[in-house]
Amino acid sequence: MPKPGTEGPDGAAHLRALAEQHGQPVPSTRTVRTPSGGTHLYFPAPAAARLRNTAGTLAPLVDTRAWGGYVVAPGSILPTGQYESVAPFALRPLPPWLRGLLTPPHPCEQARAATTGRQVYGSAYARAALDGEGGNVRTAREGTRNATLLRAARALGRLIAAGDLTRPVVETALQGAGEAAGLGAAECAATIRSALNWSLAHNTAGRQAA
């Protein structure tokens, strides 16, 4: 969640509103403060569950990382500052209402992919492209980082449109790369979302015309 004090409601406010919609309190669990002043809430992964990664789909400015995703760990030091643990420190179970929101709506899709031999992360070319674009973002110089992230998302969007990668996998990889480069979480999410939407719209239209 992005830092408080920015214009308009921040991620914490949107999370509170989401919890209120479900008649629940905001969950209290292990918390990490990011260099930008945002927060990461940690929960243990539920047994036998592959929860999805999200970027602004649960609520604006609220992102989640689960199966196939990653975050920058507490103690990590970036040019913009350090990820540090803050109270509360106790790790609490993921609330059932949040788990329900993060459970993929069509779990049989992975079973179909397994029976056809299709890999979750796509072809070797797609995986190499994902790693390469992520590396470009992580090593981008100051002043070029957002533009590099935008180009990477547009490039990988073509592979999503072709069915070689899934959007959650791309969003997770680029979000982590962007934050590792020193961009804020909200800036990363907005750039990735906009670039992927643009790429999917243009490439899907091209395939339909063909």
Whether the Cβ atoms of residue 171 and residue 55 lie closer than 8 Å to each other: yes
Domain ranges of the chain: 1-105, 106-210
* Tokens found for residue 137: 């973002």
How high is the pLDDT of residue 57?
77
How high is the pLDDT of residue 7?
54
Whether the Cβ atoms of residue 28 and residue 93 lie closer than 8 Å to each other: no
How high is the pLDDT of residue 117?
40
Whether the Cβ atoms of residue 44 and residue 94 lie closer than 8 Å to each other: yes
Say how far residue 91 (Cα) sits from the centre of its chain: 21
How high is the pLDDT of residue 75?
92
**Which pTM value belongs to this model?**
0.51
How high is the pLDDT of residue 36?
86
Cis, peptide link before residue 96, omega less than 30° from 0:
no
How high is the pLDDT of residue 55?
78
Per-residue tens of pLDDT for the chain, all 210 residues: 544 455 556 888 889 998 998 889 999 999 999 998 889 999 998 887 788 888 777 888 888 988 878 888 899 998 889 999 998 889 999 998 898 888 775 444 444 444 444 444 456 788 888 888 988 998 999 999 999 999 999 999 999 988 888 888 888 889 888 988 899 888 999 999 999 999 999 987 545 444
